[in-house]
Amino acid sequence: MNETEFRNFLKLKRRKASSIEQIIPFVGAFENYLEKFYPGKTIDQTTPESLESYVSWHESETGESASKPLWGLRYYFDFIENQELSDLAGELRSERVKRKPFFVRNFRGVNPEDIAKLELFNNEARVSHRGKLLLTITLATPGRIRTKRGWYCPQFGKKHECIVLECYVPQAFLPFVCTWKFLTHV
């Protein structure tokens, strides 16, 4: 690893000095792993298989998640312009990072008693009003649910802004039908 150029790259990416000081040892630890288990292979010659084996080894040896080392390695793979390994590191990291959802009711100034809410959680939409869960919507087909702003027209000429549920499917074969499962709680 060319540490000086890598540090400059991280500075150009606007990483804080404290972040840079965390990232460099993660990359160095991966280099040490390669020297020990893949003699003669440099970090620039990393394969997806060697990255996956490092993640398994790291988690079994330390008992800790490999999310932080993957965070650092992703920057290095961006630095050497290896998009395949950067994407793989990001994917492996996202599998290990537990993200706590931030619900609509937690926004400052929102009174949860006065509004009906739509919250996305683990690929399901939950609609509630005054703290009572009214409806749970999940996809019956493989895909992801996401929300976007849209318009609802109860009468011709009157438009009301609303939240629209959108079914996102990375690869859909025609003809395609998106189906929903509704579970009412009322």
Kindly give the confidence (pLDDT) of every residue in the chain, 186 residues in length, as a single tens digit, with 9 standing for 90 and above. Answer: 789 999 999 999 999 999 999 999 999 999 999 999 999 899 999 999 999 999 999 999 999 999 999 999 999 999 999 999 999 998 999 888 876 655 555 656 655 554 455 566 666 777 776 667 777 777 766 677 777 777 766 666 666 676 677 777 777 777 776 666 666 655
What confidence score (pLDDT) does residue 73 get?
A: 95
Query: For the whole model, what pTM was predicted?
Result: 0.55
Backbone φ and ψ for 116, nearest 5 degrees, come out as: -85, 140
Bridge partner list, 150: 162
Backbone angles phi, psi at 82, to 5 degrees: -105, 90
Q: What residue type is assigned to position 126 of the chain?
A: R
